[in-house]
Amino acid sequence: PDANAFRLTNSTASSQIQRSPVKLKQHPEDFIVTEQVTLDTGRGGFAVYRLTKWELGTPEALTAISHCWNIPRQRIAHAGLKDRKAVTTQYITVKEGPHRDLTLQNLELEYIGQRRTPLTAADIAANHFELTVRDLTEDEVTTAENRIRELSISGIPNYFDDQRFGSLGESGEWVAHALCQGNYERALWLALADSHPGDSSLEKRQKQILKEHWGDWLKCKALLDRSHRRSIVTFLADKVAANKPVDFKGAFACLNGELRGLYLSAWQSALWNRLLTAVLQQELPAAQLTVIPLKSGPAVFPQRSVADALSSSGIAISQDDSSSTSSDAVDALRLRPGLQLPLPSARIQMPTGILGELLTNVLTEEGITLSEMKVRFPRDRFFSRGLRTALVYPDLDEIASFDDEHNPGRKAIRLSFALQRGSYATMMIRFLFRAANGDGLATSGMSDSDDDLP
């Protein structure tokens, strides 16, 4: 189990000894998520179900339900994505779905009632978490108990965590970036052939075929196993066989629509993360910041808390001061509970003032302009339009420490709290234990995202 644990490594560059990493998700029961939604059940053509799953991602669970009930996948709607290595409860709707329960491997589905519309991310009020962090010292437990209470008051940076960026391959290139530049061939290569750390041996072999024979579509078709990947290659091979131009644009459109949507949200989320980092660097003294590597790029966190960092600059902060909104951010960029940052895309106007300068810098470093961040084809998926809060405030229910039965001689801590829709519990754990140990951390083994935009 330890090999699959979500590890938070605490080390210093000057130290020759590295302590054992504290562990999250050492067991699925260590990460329990319950979706809190507005159901509005009554009459309607959409059946509502409570889905409980473990060791299974949301997309895989929905596919299993679709196959078992012989229902087209597009008739099943969900509000958010939930982690694979966890015990999660969420809600789904099925258009004209059966009025009965279902039990399959690693999932249980309970029929709740009917509603008039399918579920969407907007139906989520919050997500409740019960997390167990293991392999701690007594001092780490004491410090963490104090720090979590501070975070509930001062907030933490509301970054998208690495689960959001599972589509980013070893090339470090974003599919959506190539798509917005009109480079459909590169976008297709990244989607079909780019290597990922978690690739199975079969997946590696299939991708290697494409890498070695890219452009020879008839040969790729002959060598690839039957799959969605091969179907897209067949589309290209048929063009060649008919002496027609190779249609990378049409081939990219053959990719699963939900997957294409994930490519867009991943890149947009990465750019938003970089914007938040730029805002924190603008507002807080460099000496108060610590850099933590994320898949989206380096992210900065206050060494202690946002409130402490601002206090060192002579600025006070409290949740009662909610005067700072997205419009306030244009010139002042004051870190207040109400501060919101835009999700970058051509669907918004470039902000003026400091925020506009920071966003322009982020986009320039990426080699893109705001007006270029749009999908020209296919037009069935778009970048999200909206605002995301810069700081998130955990609604803490309970903290409990106990002897860690899985790591003799160590302690464990159980945290029970709620976060607003779209915020990442793993990011809070990163911040908490980085702050508790005064150090950076490394992570691995995370899976699906907690939620949808924003």
Give the DSSP letter string of 154-217.
H-EE----GGGGTT--TT---HHHHHHTT-HHHHHHHHHT---TT--HHHHHHHHHHHHHTT-H
- Percentage of residues in the chain with pLDDT exceeding 70? 84
Phi and psi, residue 96, nearest 5°: 55, 40
Three-state SS letters, 33-48: EEEEECCCCECCCEEE
**Can you give the pTM of this predicted structure?**
0.85
Q: Give pLDDT tens digits for 359-374.
A: 999 999 999 999 999 9
Count CB neighbours of 411 within 10 A. 21
Residue 276: pLDDT over 70: yes
Tracing tokens 């590295």 back to the chain, one arrives at 18
Helix (H, G, I), strand (E, B) or coil at 376: coil
Can you tell me the distance from the alpha carbon of 141 to that of 216, in angstroms, rounded to the nearest whole number? 58
Can you tell me the distance from the alpha carbon of 6 to that of 18, in angstroms, rounded to the nearest whole number? 17
End-to-end Cα separation, the chain, in angstroms? 33
| pLDDT band, very low/low/confident/very high, at 253 (cuts 50, 70, 90) | very high
Can you tell me the distance from the alpha carbon of 433 to that of 141, in angstroms, rounded to the nearest whole number? 10
In total, the chain counts a number of residues equal to: 454
Residue 119: pLDDT over 50: yes
pLDDT at residue 228, as a whole number: 95
pLDDT at residue 208, as a whole number: 98
The helix or strand, by DSSP H or E, that contains position 359, with its residue range, turns out to be helix 353-366
pLDDT at residue 205, as a whole number: 98
Span 166-177, average pLDDT: 97
| pLDDT band, very low/low/confident/very high, at 145 (cuts 50, 70, 90) | confident
Residue 221: pLDDT over 70: yes
pLDDT at residue 14, as a whole number: 29
Cβ density class 281-306: b for 16+ within 10 Å, e for less: eebbeeebbbebebbbeebbbbbbbb
| CB-count burial class (<10 Å; 0-12, 13-18, 19+) for 11 | middle
Q: Give pLDDT tens digits for 43-66.
A: 999 999 999 999 999 999 999 999
Instruction: Check: CB of residue 350 under 8 Å from CB of residue 368.
Output: no
Q: Give pLDDT tens digits for 310-362.
A: 555 544 444 444 444 443 333 445 667 789 999 999 999 999 999 999 999 99
Which of 99-108, 309-318, 332-341, 394-403 ranks highest by mean pLDDT?
99-108
Give rounded-to-5 percent helix, strand, coil for the chain.
Answer: 35, 20, 40
Alpha-helix residue ranges (DSSP H) falling in 216-294: 217-223, 228-241, 248-253, 257-283
| pLDDT band, very low/low/confident/very high, at 252 (cuts 50, 70, 90) | very high
Span 274-278, average pLDDT: 97
Which of the residue ranges 287-291, 409-413, 418-422 would you say has the lowest mean pLDDT?
287-291
Instruction: Check: CB of residue 140 under 8 Å from CB of residue 439.
Output: no
| pLDDT band, very low/low/confident/very high, at 168 (cuts 50, 70, 90) | very high
CA separation, residue 77 to residues 58, 59, 62, 275, 448 (Å): 11, 11, 9, 31, 17
Tracing tokens 């196993």 back to the chain, one arrives at 225
Residue 17: pLDDT over 80: no
Count CB neighbours of 26 within 10 A. 24
The helix or strand, by DSSP H or E, that contains position 433, with its residue range, turns out to be helix 425-437
